[in-house]
Amino acid sequence: MKRKPSIHDIARELDVSATAISFVLNGKAKEKRVSEELEKKILDYIHKVGFSPNLIAKSLRTGKSNIIGMLVEDISDPFFSSITRWVETRAFEHGYKVFFSSTENETEKAKSLIRIFRERQVDGYIIAPTPGIEAEIRSLMDDHIPVVLFDRHFPQLPTINVLIDNYQGAYDAVDHLRVNGYKNIGLVTLDSKQTQMTDRLKGYTEAIKANKGKGCVLKIPFAHREAVKRISDFLTVNKGLDAVVFLTNYLAISGLEAIAALGLSVPEDLAIVGFDDNTHFSLFSPSITAVAQPVEEIAGQVILQLIDRLRKPEAKTGKKTIVLPTQLIVRNSSGRKVKTKPVAGPKGFTTVKTKPIP
């Protein structure tokens, strides 16, 4: 592999000092009083040969990499992929490149990614934390490395957090169903102690209580292979349900599979509301009502907070939590309940009328 020219090669070529080239390259020509003539000579040559400096060397020398490390749960999830897209764009405007990776919500994977990023001297972190990485985050903070958490957080850590109002989002979903005439509203959530999930669960519970209803909750382990079957069983056992709220994107997708397999009609047999909007929700038949997160604003706040911290690394850090509102996007899957429902079943519940497609 041919060695690329270095600043010193160019210095020799042009018979100027490497110092001058460095100043010009970093836009410090004026400040450091490099003559305009010299500056032009250097710039012309650099453009001619298409020189680009070795950023590895620069990083080693300055201790800054201009890289932000970003950990998301799953880069192929529509919520996380759109967040990263926005973050990437905004970071670029500030001169930063973002490297992201998926944790799949696994503690060990998150720990090893943080280690890898640290070894490469990443300047700051944006993290949707997995459970169990409090120590790693604390260690970053101890070394004064800027960290912003989003989507979920650790209440005991004095981090900067960009969150949404999970409680209210779930509450709104239930309330919307109630207003539209649904009486028995079930919930499908993850079996998780992470804040985003517990807050959503609380929103559901409180909304149910407020109307003196009875809750009915199914908790499924993260990334469970048999999520569809679990939901299917849940719906079969709890025939009285006339609506279900799904607390994540993927649970809603699994739920729709289960509902299709059971041959239920939405919303006639069962109304549906999802959490996290999805490009395809408007395309399903019927289209799916969902609690949407303000993706662009989340990304904007995340980068704003991080850049701010990167600018003043020695500033006193304190806990700071930003909570953004959700928005309920009403579509057909939660349409007003039709009271006059044919035949049997308690509360107008129709039994399976179609065989699942083999």
Q: Which residues of this chain interact with its own copies, rule CB under 8 A?
A: 1-2, 4, 52-57, 59-60, 63, 65, 75-76, 78, 81-82, 84-85, 88, 97, 99, 101-102, 115-116, 118-121, 142-145, 253, 256-257, 260, 263, 265-266, 279-280, 282-287, 313, 331-332, 347-352, 354-355, 357
Listed in order, strand segments (DSSP E) in the chain are: 67-72, 97-102, 124-127, 147-150, 160-164, 185-190, 217-220, 243-246, 271-275, 289-292, 320-324, 327-329
Contact between 273 and 182 (Cβ < 8 Å): no
Query: From the list its own copies, DNA, none, which binds 34 (C-beta under 5 to 8 Å, kind-based)?
Result: DNA
Beta carbon of residue 305, minimum distance to DNA (angstroms, whole number): 25
The single residue among 13, 26, 40, 158 that binds DNA, judged by CB under 7 A, is 26
And the tokens for 175?
């309330």
Minimum distance, C-beta of residue 10 to DNA, in the bound complex (Å): 8
> CB of 187 within 8 A of CB of 245?
yes
Nearest to 277 by CA among 211, 326, 315: 326
Spell out, one character per residue from 62 to 101, where the chain touches DNA: x when CB under 7 A holds, - when not: xx--------------------------------------
| Binding piece for DNA, criterion CB under 7 A, among 10-18, 162-170, 195-203, 270-278 | 10-18
Q: Binding DNA by CB under 7 A: which of 1, 2, 13, 34?
A: 34
18's contact among its own copies, DNA, none, with CB below 5 to 8 A by partner kind, is DNA
Distance CA 80, CA 347 (A): 39
Q: Can you tell me the distance from the alpha carbon of 298 to that of 113, in angstroms, rounded to the nearest whole number?
A: 23
CA distance 310 to 143: 13
Contact with DNA (CB under 7 A): which of 45, 53, 229, 284?
A: 53
Give me 224's structure tokens.
């469970």
Which residue's CB is nearer to DNA, number 93 or number 119? 119
Q: Which does 350 bind (CB under 5 to 8 A by kind): its own copies, DNA, none?
A: its own copies
Q: Which does 336 bind (CB under 5 to 8 A by kind): DNA, its own copies, none?
A: none
Q: What distance in Å separates the CA atoms of residue 261 and residue 192, rounded to the nearest whole number?
A: 26
Specify the amino acid at residue 287.
S
- Interaction partner, residue 280 (its own copies, DNA, none; CB < 5-8 Å by kind): its own copies
- Residues facing residue 71 across a β-bridge: 101, 127
- Is there binding between residue 116 and DNA (CB under 7 A)? no
